[in-house]
Structure 1
Amino acid sequence: MSDWEDQGILLNVKPHGESSAILSILTKEKGRHPGYVKGALSKKDKGLYQPGNLVDVFWQGRLEEQLGFFRVEMITNYGVKYYDEPLKLMALNSVCALAHSCLSERFPFPQIYEGLKAFLLLMETEDFWPALYVHFEKSLLHALGFGLDLERCTVCQREDDLIYVSPKTARAVCRADGEPYKEKLLLLPPFLQKGGAYHEEDLIDGLRLTGYFLGEHIFTHLYSGEPFARSQFVQMCHTKQ
């Protein structure tokens, strides 16, 4: 018999039978891990088993590689916190769907775990939370081996006036070198640069930037493509502007 306990963020709930479910939880030490919960869909426990919830999780199985069983205890119910704020709820669903779809099972991603945990917390209090959402997608690309190089111009190496990103190299391009090719380049919003401020009108450029590279390197290899929750969030952001 094998067992462990950890802290985690619930990413996905897949119904199994009439009232049970298979959960996907991003844990601090064990990575994204599945587990079976009997009665998870019952009315009594409906609030516990929602994406985005921060939980204490206990896993038990006969062998480490088996599905095994989860026992879950609530730490923070983020779904309830954002129930009356549709855009934040969409963002919560999107980051959870991205982590569930993109991260390999049973492989630790401590930086992604800590980043997701921080995002869920700061989304409650910080007006610049949409910038943090884009930063989360950027960190996801980095963790999966497709990081963006936004520190200096790929052509002349200057570190200022960076306003473009090359879709071919994922590297920043300064205004002077990028201007002749601007129709072929992606825009680099200031909030993705060191010390750059967040402005609401730059959000779509940020989502388009990370979305392009997620699509090129990750979504194309997923059976279901881009997670529906991300598509919904991006669409709502467009509607808000």
Structure 2
Amino acid sequence: MEWRDQGILLTMRRHGETAAIIDVFTRAHGRHAGVVRGGASRRIAPILQPGAQLDLLWRARLENHIGAYQVEPIRSRAAAAMSDRLALAGLNAVTALLTFGLPDREPHDALYQRSEQLLDLLGQNDIWPLAYLNWELALLDELGFGLDLRNCAATGSTDDLIYVSPKSGRAVSRDGAGDWANRMLPLPPVLRGVGPAPDSEVAQALGTTGYFIENRLAPALGNKPVPEARARFIQAFRRRL
């Protein structure tokens, strides 16, 4: 069996003396691992950096085998990631969350395209945190935990939406929250795509998306711990506020 596809390299680890096992988020085949013969060599190892865009040829005798990859670089994102601490932390957060959340060999074409577009913005620190926030919203939506922020869960109103219900992931208005307001999560305008999206709002919104990653997505994945790379990115981002 064989197929050809493009993909974003998520992880690489040595396998034996000279080979490597890579985990790649591919456009048509989802998150898919395979062996790269010679992948630990001086010639190929520099290509196999997290975030790299690769052209992939996968072969295996049977579909359920791990199989072997032949790889050709399309573009490296290492230079952009190494440009500063925020960019590197952001790249690590994206690859870690994709590894954490994606099921094996299940296509997610829309999320793949969003991920590729996000990583192509690495180094553009004026717009990257907002793009990352929107990517986290897309990740939650793709994996079945999307937020519904169109109207108030309690009243149906579209006015004065300032909270998110931690139980339903739906928006709640000031009046709709009532005595439960202190149990709600914040809904800054940026989460609804409204307003100028200052960094302070983006940071607040990442606290809300982080709640659903930790308390909804992680339990659905067998209570795997949320990757620390996300917390390191949030910390690096908040340093600049």
Do Structure 1 and Structure 2 share a fold, with TM-score over 0.5?
Answer: yes
Counterpart of 2:227, as a letter, is P
Displacement of 1:83 in angstroms is 0.7
2:183 corresponds to which residue?
184
Residues 20-169 of structure 1 mapped to structure 2, 5 A cutoff: 20-125=19-124, 127-169=126-168
Q: Could you tell me which residue of structure 2 aligns to residue 236 of structure 1?
A: 236
Deviation at 1:224, TM superposition (A): 4.5
Q: Secondary structure at the match of 2:54?
A: strand
Q: CA shift at 1:110, angstroms? A: 0.5
What corresponds to 1:206 in structure 2? 205
Partner SS state of residue 167, structure 2: coil
Q: Deviations over 1:170-192 (max 9, x none)?
A: 10112333364332111112122
Q: How many angstroms does 1:3 deviate by?
A: 0.6
In structure 2, distance between residues paired with 1:239 and 1:194:
24
Could you tell me whether the CA contact under 8 Å between 2:137 and 2:146 is conserved in 1?
A: yes
Question: Could you say if the C-alpha distance between residues 238 and 126 of structure 1 is closer, same or farther in structure 2, counting changes exceeding 3 Å?
Answer: closer
Paired residues of 1:128 and 1:198 also in contact (CA < 8 A): no
Gaps of 5+ in 1: none
Q: C-alpha separation between the residues in 2 aligned to 1:11 and 1:197?
A: 32
- For normalisation by structure 1, the TM-score amounts to 0.92
Residue of structure 2 in register with 1:13 after alignment = 12
Residue matched to 1:226 = 226
- What is the identity percentage for the equivalent residue pairs of Structure 1 and Structure 2? 37
Q: What is the Cα deviation at residue 100 of structure 1?
A: 1.1
AA matched with 1:167: P
Work out the CA distance in 1 between the residues paired with 2:223 and 2:151: 35
Residues 126 and 88 (structure 1 numbering): CA distance in 2 closer, same or farther, change over 3 Å? Answer: closer
**Aligned partner of 2:11: which letter?**
N
Deviates more, 1:183-192 or 1:214-223: 214-223
Q: State the distance in 2 between where 1:85 and 1:33 align.
A: 29
Structure 1 CA distance for aligned equivalents of residues 72 and 40 of structure 2: 15
2:230 maps to a residue whose letter is: R
Unaligned runs of 5+ in 2: none
Q: What secondary structure does 1:35 align onto?
A: strand
Q: Structure 1 residues 59 and 82, CA, compared in 2 at 3 Å: closer, same or farther?
A: same
State the alpha-carbon separation in 2 of the partners of residues 239 and 172 from structure 1: 29
Q: CA deviation at 1:82?
A: 2.3
Task: Tell me the distance in 2 between the aligned counterparts of 1:41 and 1:90.
Answer: 24
Would you say how many aligned residue pairs link Structure 1 and Structure 2? 240
* 1:119 CA drift (Å): 0.6
